């Protein structure tokens, strides 16, 4: 018998086609004031050959239809506002509403990137303040807010590594990456022109020092490490790791995706890290938006500061702020303008709301919640690594696999219980991984419901594995055929002939 | 802390369940030697009213009441209010990348619609779910062209946004290709003869922008023919997509890089914006970034998933087409809603208004003694003005009248001294433009109209 589901129950959701399927000629939703300058004939000014015919199949719909269309679509989504989002490594915490309000203030939203510095002091003060806060939180010396996301920050960081080492004489050939790392790390190394070499984890799920020593040669530019790592384990030997890397003239890069566990507890700058990126859309509560926009600032030690991307924000003698471009050793520019400003505003609002005490409390609650879940589930799901964990914990589907149930099946069944899923089948060092990160934003009530759901699903795996393998059962659509999507890609709507 | 839902009693209860005396026990794995011994030095925690006051004060320091005629890759267009109303739904803005498709159909269908709208707008066959912005889009487009052609040189028009070219140079430095820049003609357009001299069998791609950074329209179809003769690919950048309401789309281009900020996103001091790459179907497996595709569930119901992930970093790791992961989904949704609101008729009318207003302004400014439009090529809503005398002084005097009148091009093009890049859109009324013209006359010290 299927388990009783307490957290959620199915309700009617509206059907809705594609916006193109709702279109009919002559409808429109726009309104423009009448043209108050003399009309021009585009064909006279631009020439007939430069003009297009109407935009084929572009939608024609009314305002109410647009509002209903996107409202209906939104109801098919699950967000942090809906409930717990235990997606490991993604830090899906609450996104405070005041952050949304301040970023939309006219003087900020309508500020132009090329308005003169004298008329941009408000924007520049926000950036300056955020820089100071992030430097304090990471214990680093200099920072760029330019990168648009974590992976963009990684690329910035590895290009900094290359520039720094080139200035020392030799850019070197390789970047080392632990086998538990995010996929963006190796992809980044390649984009920066490095070969990738893996470093094995030991039985505690940490970087194996002997393996590291064996591969840490003078060909190695950097070790990219995630700390706490993707198992949620703090690399206890981080100081030694830094020593090994530094002894061979390499740099220690830290992927800061999991910084949420460390705020106010310890700082990358204090444990030997040379370069760290932060994901403001994780640790600092800026909303994920269904896949962006994010922001991935890069903070560095003093020795790397000359290589930071241009422009760099500087304070003048009179206290005013301006961007400077004259940096002979810079790696160049990573994107147009100065970064995802609107995201940076939200991150500062979050830090100001918390203060030092609030950030520490957030880290503590995130770690408490994760450990609470771990304790409540470790008798029903296999815990492949027993090391203490911080903000997330990783189980495997070993016990359930006996019944033919895999981590993806458990994840899909979790949707029927009213939760978003954990991260499935990652990190790669855990076969059949269930990677769970509750964040500090979940109440005990929500955590208990999650634990109940996971335990119920474990029972179902034994008694009714088919129910899991065909899950979800109560969502708008059932499990979607990804193989079909990839084999015969349909990537856009086309009118029926 | 008001964002935390756990009470002190619950914390105690949970710690007891874990057999911990204090929260400190849970951090024992962090060596004492590297633990922070004092609280972080941050501003004291603020209440919500204090946060609002802080940012309102900052907003006031950005000359919010000034009239702006600024473009150059960041455009002012009216944002229909439904955009903000709809993207403010928590189900959209607090969702993650749609990994669990069955409860992310809203995001996935909206991405599929975005991809379709971009294809329609650009006359390309496929488009991705978004990239960070136009500048990184250009870099990704160039890397893709190098991959497709297995050639090693990219020719780049100097009339592409200067900061886009800088980003391309940063990316290219560690890839296996080099970059050569192509000059512009006195008309403001790319010099096709210079292109002919440099184009050869080593050329992977030629990158252009239309309307270009000077606002001038390039001869995209003719350039495409020239580029294709040598087996190279044409990468066409679109910075001001409102122009596509009126202008022939770059159907002949092989890769279109579009910055969609103009489609409903505020300038927001330079970001977040939304880049997107559109191309031919045959190139899909070389494309960077996420893609939503249509499929069905077991009952045959239509649904959407992220697809062709074997190009991407989380599957291919070091062999991926790009390292991009998080992109700009919510910004893409804003652009989609904008395109739906304007639709087939509206985008054309919007483009016509931009054209009319910019030409009204250019004509009035061009009548001021000593002033003329620098380039002769046709333009859309942005143009370059040659100013008699010191542009910095002119801009300062205009600013005293609360007008931010344009951008000094010498900042990016040392040879273009005493020139201003001016952008006029539908957001400017005739009175605004007349104020600009009068202010400009006053700044130069020449009499009334």
Q: What is the pLDDT of residues B376-387, one digit of tens each?
A: 999 999 999 999
Using a CB–CB cutoff of 8 Å, tell me whether B53 touches chain A: no
Q: How confident is the model at residue B174 (pLDDT cuts 50, 70, 90)?
A: confident
Q: Are strands A298-300 and A142-144 parallel, antiparallel or unpaired?
A: antiparallel
* Residues A336 and A308 both lie in one domain: yes
Chain A from 283 to 342: CB within 8 A of any B CB? 285, 287-294, 309, 331-342
3-state secondary structure of A223: strand
Percent of chain A with pLDDT over 70: 100
Residue of chain A with shortest Cα separation from B320: A187
Q: DSSP for A340-386?
A: -HHHHHHHHHHHHHHHHHHHHHHHHHHHHHHHHHHHHHTTTSB-S--
Token pair for residue A186? Answer: 């190796």
CB B373 within 8 A of CB B447: no
Burial A223-236 (b: 16+ CB within 10 A, else e): bbbbbbbbbbbbbb
Q: What DSSP character marks residue B171?
A: H
| Residue A260 and residue A110 in contact, taking contact as beta carbons nearer than 8 Å | no
Q: Is B415 exposed, middle or buried (0-12, 13-18, 19+ CB in 10 A)?
A: exposed
- Looking at the complex, report in whole angstroms how far the Cα of residue A362 sits from the nearest Cα belonging to chain B: 7
Within-domain flag for B196: yes
Residues A112 and A245 grouped into a single domain: yes
Does the residue A94 lie in any domain?
Answer: no
Report pLDDT digits (tens) over A144-195: 999 999 999 999 999 999 999 999 989 999 999 999 998 899 999 998 999 9
In terms of domains, do B197 and B327 share one? Answer: yes
Q: Are residues B262 and B294 in the same domain?
A: yes
pLDDT tens for B8-27 read 999 999 999 999 999 999 99
Torsion angle of alpha carbons B28, B29, B30, B33, nearest 10°? 80
Stretch 309-368 of chain B: residues touching chain A, C-beta under 8 Å: 309-310, 312-320, 322-331, 333, 337, 339-350, 352-353, 355-357, 359-360
Asked whether residue A173 is domain-assigned, the answer is yes
Domain of A404, in residue numbers:
358-484
Q: How far does A72 lie from chain B, in Å, by closest CA?
A: 8
A-contacting residues in B 147-166 (Cβ below 8 Å): 161, 163-164, 166
Residue of A nearest to B273 (CA): A340
| A51–chain B nearest CA distance, Å | 4
Quickly state the pLDDT bin for B239 (edges 50, 70, 90).
very high
Q: Are residues A365 and A258 in the same domain?
A: no
Residue B351 within a domain: yes
CB pairs under 8 A between A and B: 685
Whether A154 and A277 have beta carbons less than 8 Å apart is answered as yes
> If you average pLDDT over residues B338-345, what whole number do you get?
97
Give A421-451 pLDDT, tens digit per residue. 999 999 999 999 999 999 999 999 999 999 9
Which helix (H) or strand (E) segment holds residue A487: the answer is helix A482-487
Of B30, B94, B272, the CB nearest to A265: B30
Alpha helices (H) in A192-337, listed in sequence order: 209-215, 238-247
Taken as a whole, chain A contains a residue count of 497
Question: How many residues are listed for chain B in this entry?
Answer: 449
* Burial class for A381, CB neighbours closer than 10 Å (0-12, 13-18, 19+): buried
Tokens 């930071």 appear where? A308
| Cα A297 to Cα A144: distance, rounded to the nearest angstrom | 6
In A, minimum Cα distance to B407 occurs at A114
Do residues A399 and A274 both lie within one domain? no
The DSSP code sequence of B357-409 is HHHHHHHHHHTSTT-EES--S-BSSEEEEE-SS-HHHHHHHHHHTTEE--EEG
Mean pLDDT of chain B: 96
Report the alpha-carbon distance of residue B294 to residue A21 in Å, rounded.
15
B131's CB contacts (< 8 A; 6+ apart) are: B137, B140, B274, B275, B276, B277, B288, B289, B324, B327, B328
Q: How many domains does chain A have?
A: 3
pTM for the model stands at 0.98
Note whether residue B1 is domain-resident: no
pLDDT digits (tens, 9 = 90+) for B273-304: 999 999 999 999 999 999 999 999 999 999 99
Which residues in chain B have their CB less than 8 angstroms from residue A332's CB? 166-167, 169-170, 173
Question: Could you give the number of structural domains in chain B?
Answer: 2
- Over residues B161-183, the mean pLDDT reads 94
Residue B325 has pLDDT above 90, yes or no: no
The answer on pLDDT for A361 being more than 70 is: yes
| Helix H or strand E segment including B235 | strand B233-238
Do B370 and B437 lie in one domain? The reply is yes
Q: Is A21 on the interface with B (CB under 8 A)?
A: no
The reply to whether B20 falls in a domain is no
Domain shared by A380 and A427, yes or no: yes
Name the pairing type of β-strands A321-324 and A312-315: antiparallel
For chain B, say whether A168 makes contact (Cβ under 8 Å): no
**What's the gap in Å between the CA of B200 and the closest CA on chain A?**
26
B38 and A CB contact within 8 Å: no
**How far apart are the C-alpha atoms of A270 and A402, rounded to whole Å?**
45
- Scanning B3-104, the segments in alpha helix (DSSP H) are 8-17, 48-60, 81-87, 90-93
B292 touches chain A (CB under 8 A): yes
A104-151 per-position pLDDT tens digit: 999 999 999 999 999 999 999 999 999 999 999 999 999 999 999 999
Q: What angle do CA B89, B92, B95 make, to 5 degrees?
A: 130
The pairing of strands B178-182 and B302-306 is unpaired
Nearest-5° angle of CA A96, CA A99, CA A103? 160
Other C-beta atoms closer than 10 Å to the C-beta of A100 total 20
- Segment B303-322, tens digit of pLDDT: 999 999 888 777 777 888 88
Residue B435 is part of a domain; what is its CATH number? 3.90.1150.10
Buried b (16+ CB within 10 A) or exposed e, B94-129: bbbbbbbbbbbbbbbbbbbbbbbbbbbbbbbbbbbb
Cβ atoms A345, A104 nearer than 8 A: no
- The answer to whether residue A153 sits within a structural domain is yes
* Spatial distance between the Cα atoms of B303 and A485, rounded to a whole number of angstroms: 10
Q: Which residues have a Cβ under 8 Å from the Cβ of A420 and sit 6 or more positions away?
A: A78, A82, A83, A84, A85, A86, A87, A92, A414, B96, B100, B103
Residues A123 and A150 in one domain: yes
3-class SS of residue A308:
coil
How large is the C-alpha radius of gyration of chain A?
Answer: 25
For B67-80, write each residue's pLDDT tens digit: 999 999 999 999 99
B378/A49 touch (CB, cutoff 8 Å), yes or no: no
pLDDT tens-place string over residues B408-436: 999 999 999 999 999 999 999 999 999 99
Distances from the Cα of A483 to the Cαs of A169, A423, B98, B281, B308, in angstroms? 49, 20, 17, 19, 9
Of A50, A78, A266, the CB nearest to B36: A266
Domain that holds residue B410: 67-78+343-444
Residue B63 burial (CB < 10 Å; 0-12/13-18/19+)? buried
- My answer on whether A365 and A326 are in the same domain is no
ipTM strictly over 0.90?
Answer: yes
Collapsing DSSP states into helix, strand and coil, what is residue B114?
helix
Mean pLDDT score, A246-267: 98
| Residue that finishes a domain, picked among B307, B338, B369 | B338
Residues A144 and A233 in one domain: yes
Rounded to an integer, what distance in angstroms lies between the CA atom of residue A422 and that of residue A159?
32
**pLDDT average, residue stretch B244-248:** 98
| B314 & B352 share domain | no
Is there a single domain that holds both residue A282 and residue A299? yes
User: Does the residue B235 lie in any domain?
Assistant: yes
The answer on pLDDT for A496 being more than 90 is no
Nearest by CB to residue A122, choosing from B62, B98, B353, is B62
Q: Is B335 exposed, middle or buried (0-12, 13-18, 19+ CB in 10 A)?
A: buried
Say whether residue B116 is in contact with chain A using an 8 A CB cutoff. yes
Per-residue confidence band for B251, with pLDDT thresholds at 50, 70 and 90: very high
Taking the CA of residue B207 and the nearest CA in chain A, the distance in Å comes to 17
The reply to whether A263 falls in a domain is yes
A394: CATH: 3.90.1150.10
d(CA B245, CA B345): 9
Cβ of B98 and A342 within 8 Å? Answer: no
Best of B39, B325, B377, B381 to disrupt the A interface (most A CBs within 10 Å) is B325
Q: Are residues B401 and B374 part of one domain?
A: yes
Last residue of a domain, one of B288, B306, B338: B338
The beta-carbon neighbor of A107 closest among B59, B129, B308 is B59
CB contact under 8 A, A58 and B344: yes
- How far, in Å, CA of B138 to CA of B131, rounded? 10
Q: Are residues A271 and A317 in the same domain?
A: yes
Q: Which of B42, B99, B322 sits opposite A351 (nearest CB)?
A: B42
> Which strand (E) or helix (H) includes residue B421?
strand B419-423
Q: Which of B11, B57, B103 sits opposite A415 (nearest CB)?
A: B103
Q: Touching check for B420 and chain A: CB below 8 Å?
A: no
**Contacts of range A402-409, beta carbons closer than 8 Å, 24 or more positions apart:** A403/A461, A403/A462, A403/A465, A404/A465, A404/A469, A405/A461, A405/A465, A405/A468, A405/A469, A406/A432, A407/A432, A407/A433, A407/A434, A409/A461, A409/A465, A409/A468, A409/A469, A409/A471
Find chain A residues with C-beta within 8 A of B412's C-beta. none
Contact A30 B346 (CB under 8 A): yes
Cα of B323 to nearest chain A Cα, Å: 5
Q: Taking Cα atoms as reference points, which of A85, A90, A93 lies closest to residue A359?
A: A93
In chain A, which residue's Cα lies nearest the Cα of B307?
A: A486
A241, A290, A340, best to mutate vs chain B, most B CBs in 10 Å: A290
Percent helix, strand, coil in chain B (nearest 5)?
A: 45, 15, 40
User: Hey, is the C-beta of A475 within 8 angstroms of any chain B C-beta?
Assistant: yes
DSSP-derived secondary structure for A91-137: ------HHHHHHHT-HHHHT--TTS-GGG-HHHHHHHHHHHHHHHHH
Distance between CA atoms of B416 and A108, rounded to whole angstroms?
A: 31
- For every residue of A27-47, DSSP letters joined together read ------PPP-S----HHHHH-
- The torsion of the CA quartet A209, A214, A215, A221, rounded to 10 degrees, works out to 70
Residues A333-347 pLDDT 10s: 999 999 999 999 999
Q: Are residues A326 and A391 in the same domain?
A: no
Confidence at B448, pLDDT banded by 50, 70, 90 = low
pLDDT reading at B449 higher than 60: no
Q: Is A386 on the interface with B (CB under 8 A)?
A: no
Q: Identify the helix (H) or strand (E) that includes residue B142.
A: helix B134-149
Query: Using a CB-CB distance cutoff of 8 angstroms, which residues of chain B are in contact with residue A111?
Result: 62, 267-269
Report the pLDDT value the prediction gives residue A1, as an integer from 0 to 100: 60
Q: In whole angstroms, give the CA distance from residue A154 to residue A192.
A: 10
Give the Cα separation of B14 and B50 in Å (integer): 33
User: Do residues B104 and B126 both lie within one domain?
Assistant: yes
Question: Which among B282, B317, B338 is the end of a domain?
Answer: B338
A56/B contact by beta carbon, under 8 A: yes
- Confirm whether B413 is domain-assigned: yes
Instruction: Mark whether B288 and B375 lie in a shared domain.
Output: no
Task: State how far the Cα of A369 lies from the Cα of A443, in Å rounded to an integer.
Answer: 9
- Whether residue B213 is found in the same domain as residue B291: yes
Contact list, A376 vs chain B (CB under 8 Å):
17
**In Å, how far from its chain's centre is CA B338?**
15
CATH number at residue B86: 3.40.640.10
């Amino acid at each position: 018998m299927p388990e009783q589901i307490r957290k959620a129950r199915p309700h009617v959701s509206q059907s809705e086609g594609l916006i193109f399927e709702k279109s009919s000629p002559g409808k429109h939703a726009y309104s423009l004031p009448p043209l108050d300058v003399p009309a021009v004939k585009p064909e006279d000014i631009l020439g007939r050959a430069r003009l297009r015919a109407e935009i084929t199949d572009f939608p024609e719909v009314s305002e109410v239809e647009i509002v209903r269309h996107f409202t209906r679509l939104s109801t098919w989504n699950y967000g942090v506002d809906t409930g717990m989002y235990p997606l490991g490594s993604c830090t899906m915490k609450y996104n405070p509403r005041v952050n949304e309000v301040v970023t939309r203030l006219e003087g900020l939203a309508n500020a132009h990137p090329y308005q003169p510095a004298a008329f941009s002091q408000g924007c520049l003060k926000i950036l300056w303040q955020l820089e100071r806060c992030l430097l304090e939180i990471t214990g680093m010396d200099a920072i760029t807010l330019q990168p648009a996301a974590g992976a963009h920050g990684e690329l910035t960081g590895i290009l900094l590594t290359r520039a720094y080492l080139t200035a020392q004489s030799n850019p070197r050939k390789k970047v080392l990456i632990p086998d538990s790392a995010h996929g963006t790390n190796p992809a980044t190394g390649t984009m920066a022109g490095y070969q990738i070499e893996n470093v094995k984890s030991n039985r505690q799920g940490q970087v194996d020092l002997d393996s590291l020593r064996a591969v840490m040669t003078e060909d190695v530019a950097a070790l990219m490490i995630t700390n706490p790592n993707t198992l949620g384990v703090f690399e206890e030997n981080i100081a030694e790791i830094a020593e090994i890397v530094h002894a061979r003239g390499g740099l220690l890069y830290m992927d800061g995706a999991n910084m949420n566990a460390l705020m106010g507890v310890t700082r990358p700058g204090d444990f030997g890290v040379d370069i760290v990126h932060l994901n403001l859309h994780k640790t600092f509560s800026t909303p994920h938006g269904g896949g962006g926009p994010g922001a991935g600032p890069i903070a560095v030690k003093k020795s790397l500061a000359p290589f930071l991307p241009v422009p760099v924000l500087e304070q003048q003698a009179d206290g005013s702020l301006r961007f400077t471009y004259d940096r002979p050793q810079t790696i160049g520019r990573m994107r147009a303008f100065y970064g995802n400003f609107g995201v940076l505003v939200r991150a500062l609002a979050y830090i100001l709301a918390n203060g030092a005490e609030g950030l520490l409390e957030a880290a503590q609650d995130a770690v408490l919640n994760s450990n609470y879940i771990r304790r409540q589930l470790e008798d029903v799901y296999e815990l492949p690594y027993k090391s203490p964990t911080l903000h997330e914990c990783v189980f495997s589907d070993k016990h359930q696999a006996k019944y033919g149930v895999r981590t993806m099946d458990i994840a899909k069944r979790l949707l029927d219980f009213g939760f978003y899923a954990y991260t499935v089948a990652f990190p790669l060092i855990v076969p059949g991984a269930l990677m769970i990160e509750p964040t500090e934003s979940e109440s005990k009530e929500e955590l208990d419901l999650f634990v109940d759901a996971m335990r119920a699903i474990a029972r179902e795996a034994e008694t009714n594995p088919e129910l899991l393998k065909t899950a979800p059962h109560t969502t708008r659509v059932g499990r979607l055929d990804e193989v079909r999507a990839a084999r015969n890609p349909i990537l856009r709507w086309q009118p029926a002939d | 802390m008001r964002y935390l839902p756990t009470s002190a009693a619950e914390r105690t209860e949970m710690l007891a369940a874990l057999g911990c005396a204090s929260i400190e026990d849970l951090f024992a794995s962090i060596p004492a030697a590297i633990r922070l011994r004092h609280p972080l030095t941050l501003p004291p925690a603020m209440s919500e009213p204090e946060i609002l006051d802080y940012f309102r004060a900052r907003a006031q320091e950005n000359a919010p009441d000034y009239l702006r005629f600024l473009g150059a890759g960041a455009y002012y267009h009216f944002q229909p209010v439904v955009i903000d109303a709809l993207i403010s739904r928590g189900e959209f803005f607090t969702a993650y990348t749609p990994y669990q498709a069955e409860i992310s159909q809203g995001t996935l269908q909206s991405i599929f619609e975005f991809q379709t709208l971009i294809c329609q707008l650009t006359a390309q066959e496929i488009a991705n779910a978004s990239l960070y912005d136009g500048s990184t889009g250009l870099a990704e487009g160039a890397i893709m062209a190098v991959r497709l052609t297995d050639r090693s040189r990219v020719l780049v028009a100097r009339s592409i946004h200067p900061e886009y070219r800088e980003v391309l140079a940063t990316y290219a430095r560690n890839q296996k290709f080099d970059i050569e820049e192509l000059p512009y003609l006195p008309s403001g357009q790319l010099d096709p003869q210079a292109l002919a001299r440099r184009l050869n069998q080593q050329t992977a791609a030629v990158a252009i922008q239309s309307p270009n950074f000077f606002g001038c329209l390039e001869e995209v179809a003719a350039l495409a023919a020239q580029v294709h003769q040598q087996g190279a690919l044409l990468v066409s950048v679109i910075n001001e997509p409102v122009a596509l309401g009126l202008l022939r789309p770059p159907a002949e281009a092989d890769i279109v890089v579009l910055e969609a900020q103009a489609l409903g996103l505020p300038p927001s001091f330079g970001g977040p914006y939304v880049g997107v790459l559109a191309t031919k179907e045959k190139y899909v497996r070389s494309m960077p970034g996420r893609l939503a595709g249509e499929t069905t569930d077991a009952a045959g119901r239509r649904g959407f998933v992220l697809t062709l992930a074997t190009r991407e970093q989380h599957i291919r790791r070091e062999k991926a087409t790009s390292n991009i992961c998080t992109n700009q989904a919510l910004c893409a949704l804003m652009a989609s809603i904008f395109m739906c609101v304007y639709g087939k008729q509206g985008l054309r009318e919007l483009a016509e208004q931009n054209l009319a207003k910019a030409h009204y302004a250019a004509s009035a400014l061009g009548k001021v003694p000593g002033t003329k439009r620098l380039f002769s090529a046709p333009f859309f809503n942005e143009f370059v003005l040659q100013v008699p005398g010191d542009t910095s002084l002119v801009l300062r005097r205009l600013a005293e009248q609360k007008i931010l009148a344009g951008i000094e091009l010498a900042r990016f093009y040392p040879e273009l001294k005493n020139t201003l890049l001016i952008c006029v859109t539908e957001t400017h009324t005739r009175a605004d433009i007349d104020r600009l013209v009068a202010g400009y006359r006053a700044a130069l010290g020449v009499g009334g109209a």
